[in-house]
Amino acid sequence: MDRVAVRGLKALGRHGVFEHERAEGQLFVVDVDMAVDTRPAAAGDDLTATVHYGVVAEEVHAIVTGEPVDLIETLAQRIADQCLSHEAVHEVEVVVHKPDAPISVPFDDVTITIKRSRS
């Protein structure tokens, strides 16, 4: 399988278990890496035979900025489900970064990484 990736997608979300996370919102960064057989698209130079990464980026942005959830695990699953709704996508790896997570000690980033495929 070939890979089509969108990395570093940034959006303001209101996810988290604390009230201030919901009220103020915070930056989330998302990476998606999709397994796609790109041979049909390449052979015919046909966008409809692959996944449109621009559309995927818009969909991921809408999920992050949309309905709040408590856990970034839930957010990652929603993103994976949306990516897999595209016929060309056979598998997806989603990384959700929460660089401003409410942690009381110095840190660089908090992430969840999930990999999902068609069942």
Active site residues: 98
Task: Please name which of 96, 93, 92, 100 lies closest in space to residue 72, comparing C-alpha atoms.
Answer: 96
Half-sphere exposure of 46 (CA within 13 A, CB side): 9
Task: Please name which of 37, 8, 9, 21 lies closest in space to residue 100, comparing C-alpha atoms.
Answer: 21
φ, ψ of residue 98 in degrees (nearest 5): -125, 80
Amino acid at 63: I
